[in-house]
Structures are given as structure tokens and as C-alpha cells.
Amino acid sequence: MELEKVLNHLEEAIKRLQLEYEQYLTGVLKKEPLDLRREVERIIASYNRRRINNTALRFRFNALAARFNTYKNYWERVLRKREEGKVLRTDANERDLKVLYLEYIEARRRCNQPTDHITYEDLIRKIKAHLGSGKGVNLSVRIKDGKAILVKTRKKGA
């Protein structure tokens, strides 16, 4: 049971870390979330050395460790490209879309709706297809009837 609690904590920490890195990479957060990253790395390293006899828990641990390593490689690649000058920081419009995406994902989590299948690119593609040019329209995240939704509102003066 202790290992199951640790895995639940690890899964939540990875989700939080992924969200914080997205915010950091889009400029919402000013500081890289290194403390949380070190905590996740410490937990994974600690349980990597231990023998996990329960097959289901071992599978879950390996899946979480693989997910973290995938995210870590992505973050390092993006940061390296940024340092090399190959990736510029996003403009205000792109930053607004990233913030909208992160708010939507967080609202879905609060409503216990699945979020694994929603990628940033898919959501933005759907938003742009639905709005067209999007001029004169704002989008915001609301919770209605226990579900996270995107709501269109007219911009003032539009």
C-alpha cells in the first residue's frame, strides 16, 4: 500500500511538473521548476534501485518513469534550442493560447474529466477552425454543469 501511495504522489507530481514546465516555456512562470523536478527525479531514482514484486505496481512505476523521461527529454531539447537561439519566445497571442490551454486542462482536471487525449496542437486547431479569424472574440474557460467548457465573448469595442 505504501508503494501505491508513492506512485499516486509521483503521478500527481509529474502532472504538476508538466504543467509548470509548460507555463515556464510560455513565459507565464519566470523560474524553471527545478525543485519539483529534483523531487520527481529523487523518487524515480529511489524506486529504480528497489525490487518491486507486484507486477501491476512495477508496470505502473515503469510507465510513470518513462513518461517523466519523455517529458524531460522534450524540456531539455526545447531549452537547448532556446539557448542556441533557434527558438524564440512566443509572442503575446501564442502565449495567450498557451495560457488558455493550461487553464482548460486544469479546469478539466478539477472536474475529473480526462485530459490525456487533449494536446495543445489539437485544441488550438479546433479553436481556430471554430472561430475563423477570431477577430473581435475572446475565449475563456468556464465550468458549467460540472464540465469544463470554452466560452466565446465579444471583445469590448469590437
Residue 46 has pLDDT above 60, yes or no: yes
Q: Are residues 48 and 17 in the same domain?
A: yes
Place 14 in a pLDDT band, splitting at 50, 70 and 90: very high
User: Do 101 and 136 reside in the same domain of the chain?
Assistant: yes
SS3 77: helix
Side-chain-side CA neighbours of residue 66 (13 Å): 6
Say whether both 29 and 68 belong to one domain: yes
Q: pLDDT, tens digit, for every residue of 67-107?
A: 999 999 989 988 887 777 664 444 446 667 777 788 888 88
pLDDT of residue 39: 96
Query: 100-143 pLDDT, tens per residue?
Result: 788 888 888 888 988 888 888 888 777 776 666 555 567 778 88
Say if residue 37's pLDDT is above 80: yes
Q: Does residue 31 sit in the same domain as residue 48?
A: yes
Whether residues 44 and 112 share a domain: the answer is no
Q: Which domain holds residue 129?
A: 92-154
One domain for residues 12 and 69: yes
Comparing 138 with 59, the larger pLDDT belongs to 59
If asked whether residues 36 and 62 sit together in one domain, one would say: yes
* Greater model confidence, 64 or 155: 64
- Is the per-residue pLDDT at 1 higher than 50? yes
User: Could you tell me if 53 and 122 lie in one domain?
Assistant: no
Report how many domains make up the chain.
2
Domain boundary among 64, 83, 102: 83
Alpha-carbon dihedral angle through residues 83, 95, 40, 73, given to the nearest 10 degrees = -40
Last residue of a domain, one of 48, 63, 83: 83
**How many Cβ atoms from other residues are within 10 Å of residue 87's Cβ?**
14
| Residue type present at position 1 | M
